[in-house]
Amino acid sequence: MSEPNEATWLTQEAYDRLADELEYLVTVARGDIAKRIQEAREEGDLKENGGYHAAKEEQGKIEARLNRIEEILSTAQVGQAPKAHGVVEQGLVITVNLNGTEKKFLLGSAEINDDSVEVYSPDSPIGSAILGRKVGEELDVFLPNGKSISVKILGVANA
């Protein structure tokens, strides 16, 4: 997850999609789940009420998603990606060599959801390790599973 107040680059399309989802969660989903919880409460004993517990769990997921979207939108930089100038930044297509295999991806929020290219989060192990690095740099990135991967930055380009 991004540091507080750290900008998240988004396309206008991704920003609009998130804003629409936020509006739906606030205006429709919250009310629907509150109604389901109330109906389940009226069924009686809450200890053995599967519908109540399922609805409460769903309510938690809705609230978590709502909070995440609010966080993203509050720090979003919307519009054109930065111009490629040899340094890895959010919004650029990065070409790397990962343990001998060439890979190309867009560095940005998973919320971009671009079908034309894979998207790596700047918070991912690889994304955070290469952010701010220059073309030609080589480094070893340690993964959550305890293994490491060799990364060489081959290029940066506009999306």
CATH of the domain at 64: 1.10.287.180
Please indicate, yes or no, whether residues 70 and 96 belong to a single structural domain of this protein: no
Task: Answer yes or no: is pLDDT of 2 > 50.
Answer: no
Phi, psi of 155, deg, nearest 5: -175, 160
According to the model, what pLDDT value does residue 85 have?
A: 79
Indicate whether 149 belongs to any domain. yes
Percent of the chain at pLDDT > 70 equals 90
- The DSSP code for 87 is B
Percent of the chain at pLDDT > 90 equals 53
Query: What residues contact residue 31 under an 8 Å CB cut-off, 6+ apart?
Result: none
Packed helices 50-75 and 30-41: angle between N→C axes, nearest 10 degrees: 160
Which domain does 57 fall in, by range?
8-78
CATH assignment of the domain containing 100: 3.10.50.30
Task: Answer yes or no: is pLDDT of 157 > 80.
Answer: yes
Indicate whether 85 belongs to any domain. no
User: For the residues 130-145, what does the mean pLDDT come to?
Assistant: 95
Provide the pairing of β-strand 92-98 with 101-107. antiparallel
Task: Answer yes or no: is pLDDT of 17 > 60.
Answer: yes
- The DSSP code for 27 is I
Give the end-to-end CA distance of the chain in Å, rounded to a whole number: 23
Task: Answer yes or no: is pLDDT of 8 > 50.
Answer: yes
Is there a contact between 41 and 136 (Cβ–Cβ < 8 Å)?
no
Specify the number of domains making up the chain: 2
pLDDT tens string 40-81: 888 877 777 888 889 999 999 999 999 989 988 998 888 766
- How many angstroms separate the CA atoms of 115 and 119, rounded? 9
Please indicate, yes or no, whether residues 24 and 70 belong to a single structural domain of this protein: yes
pLDDT tens string 105-116: 988 877 776 666
Indicate whether 87 belongs to any domain. no
User: Reduced to 3 states, what is the DSSP secondary structure of residue 156?
Assistant: strand
Arithmetic mean of pLDDT over the chain? 87
| Alpha helix stretches (DSSP H) within 78-156 | 125-130
